[in-house]
Structure 1
Amino acid sequence: MDPIVEVVALLLGFLGWVLAGVALPNRYWKTSTVSGTVITTSTIYENLWMSCASDSTGVHDCREFPSLLALNGYIQASRALMITSIVLGAFGIVATLVGIQDASPGRGGSCSSSRDFFNPMFPGIKYEIGEGLYIGWCSAVLAIAGGSCLTCSCRLATEEK
């Protein structure tokens, strides 16, 4: 196996795992939009754990979601998938560290939101995608890239033998 590909895969996987950990508690998974209003006095934003509002003076008021069973299905699924990705990512990093052969240190080496947003007759608050989702998407891309590098590294090793 090529040790450089293994180290790059480890770094990409680790960076993806860290970004998933940053995205999980981020408050801005979706934020209220300002389109169609002249004066915005408050902004509403949500994540997987709470809904918050902030006014123009900078005061934040947050309310945690009261019950797991009362949540929408996409929030329950998102919570489960994010926590699963962090747990499995930790196992993956440990497995990668154990499996790296030549790179020892001594050798140098959400659908309903968009539907409501574009519906001109929707009476509620319209939300835009927040920074938490972008961080989560970046972590997914990095994790997939790291896994692809590991897969290619294993494939190259079998072809050499």
Structure 2
Amino acid sequence: MKKRLFQIFGFLLSTLGWLFVSCTMAMDYWRVSQIGGQGGSNIIKVGWYWSNLWKDCFIDSTAVVNCRDYAVLWSVTPYVQGVRGLLMIGLGFGFLGAILAFVGMECTNLGGNDETNDKILLSASVFHVVGGISDIAGYCLYINRIARTAFNPVFDPTTLRYDIGTPLFLGLVGSFLILVGAVFYLFTVLRVIFPKTKVVYAYTSRSYVTPRTRSRTLYTGYYRPSRQSRRSRESRESRQSTLSTGSKSSEFSNISQITDEKISDRDAFV
């Protein structure tokens, strides 16, 4: 149950983060610059310059907006092209990661067994991490461009100095949520990354030993008889065997003599 809750929470965080990132690409006021604000009459003339990834605009105090769209791709400033590319790469990885996360979650029952689900969710978290880092790199590149112009002491004073707009902060928050969701995914699939070590027991084949011989073999390693004792025992056994064979042969000879005498007496009587 705890694993399922972590996965759902991570999915919600990562999805919310990608929603923030995708919204920032269509939002205005990535950078803002204000001019005017002073006047000797009752009407204060104020104007704002603002830009995003697709156009540059100017708005005056009468709320009239004039914009210049970026006509073609190769006419755009190189750093804007870089930010576009990084954000689109991040959104692509995030789309794949969201699909894999939806399939690999335990509550959806789409990936198969637990081991397959964990592997799918691990790949989804990797896609989220790569996409989140790509988005952070894009936002940092844009912020760096604004900061270099704003804090340059030898910069032309007639050039506009822009401030950081709201979409950049929203995009950084979304990237942070994506990474947090990926961490929740990784926390639930630690068994795949660090599997438990399996202890293998090796069993050797042993012959069955009766209790009498078992008790006898326990002490043979410590009290092994000497060679002379073994030889004397073998000679004793050989003598006993010869005596037994001699007694058996004498018995057979006695029996044969008795039977011959009985047969001769019978013939004489007849």
Q: Same fold (TM over 0.5)?
A: yes
1:117 and 2:150 equivalent? yes
Q: Which of 186, 192, 197 is the matching residue for 1:151? A: 186
What is the alpha-carbon distance in structure 2 between the residues aligned to residue 138 and residue 40 of structure 1? 35
DSSP-derived class of the 1:62 partner: strand
Indicate the residue corresponding to 1:31 in structure 2.
32
What is the alpha-carbon distance in structure 2 between the residues aligned to residue 69 and residue 40 of structure 1? 36
What is the alpha-carbon distance in structure 1 between the residues aligned to residue 147 and residue 6 of structure 2? 38
Aligned CA RMSD, in angstroms, stands at 2.3
Flag the structure with larger Rg: 2
What is the alpha-carbon distance in structure 1 between the residues aligned to residue 81 and residue 45 of structure 2? 31
1:19 and 2:54 equivalent? no
TM-score (norm 1): 0.85
Per the TM alignment, residue 119 of structure 1 is displaced from its structure 2 partner at its CA by: 2.4
1:56 and 2:79 equivalent? no
Instruction: Pick the structure with more strand per residue.
Output: 1
DSSP-derived class of the 1:54 partner: strand
What is the alpha-carbon distance in structure 2 between the residues aligned to residue 11 and residue 134 of structure 1? 20
Letter in 2 for 1:25: A
Indicate the residue corresponding to 2:103 in structure 1.
98
CA change 1:125–1:159 in 2 (3 A) is same
DSSP-derived class of the 1:2 partner: helix
Identity %: 26
Instruction: Pick the structure with more helix per residue.
Output: 2
Letter in 1 for 2:181: G
What is the alpha-carbon distance in structure 2 between the residues aligned to residue 59 and residue 139 of structure 1? 32
Which string of whole-angstrom CA distances, capped at 9 and with x for unpartnered residues, describes residues 105-126 of structure 1? 9xxxx21221111224433111
More relative contact order, 1 or 2 (CA 8 Å, 6+ apart): 1
What is the alpha-carbon distance in structure 2 between the residues aligned to residue 157 and residue 30 of structure 1? 44
DSSP-derived class of the 2:86 partner: helix
Question: For the Cα contact (< 8 Å) 1:13–1:147, is it kept in 2?
Answer: yes
Count of aligned residue pairs for this structure pair: 155
TM-score (norm 2): 0.53
1:139 and 2:174 equivalent? yes
CA change 1:75–1:40 in 2 (3 A) is farther
What is the alpha-carbon distance in structure 1 between the residues aligned to residue 6 and residue 45 of structure 2? 50
Question: For the Cα contact (< 8 Å) 1:20–1:85, is it kept in 2?
Answer: no
Letter in 2 for 1:92: G
CA change 1:57–1:95 in 2 (3 A) is same
Question: For the Cα contact (< 8 Å) 2:59–2:65, is it kept in 1?
Answer: yes
CA change 1:125–1:37 in 2 (3 A) is farther
What is the alpha-carbon distance in structure 1 between the residues aligned to residue 160 and residue 71 of structure 2? 20
User: Could you tell which deviates more after superposition, 8-17 or 87-96?
Assistant: 87-96
Per the TM alignment, residue 157 of structure 1 is displaced from its structure 2 partner at its CA by: 6.6
DSSP-derived class of the 1:124 partner: coil
Which string of whole-angstrom CA distances, capped at 9 and with x for unpartnered residues, describes residues 28-82 of structure 1? 1111145x96465210100001111111111111111122212222111111111
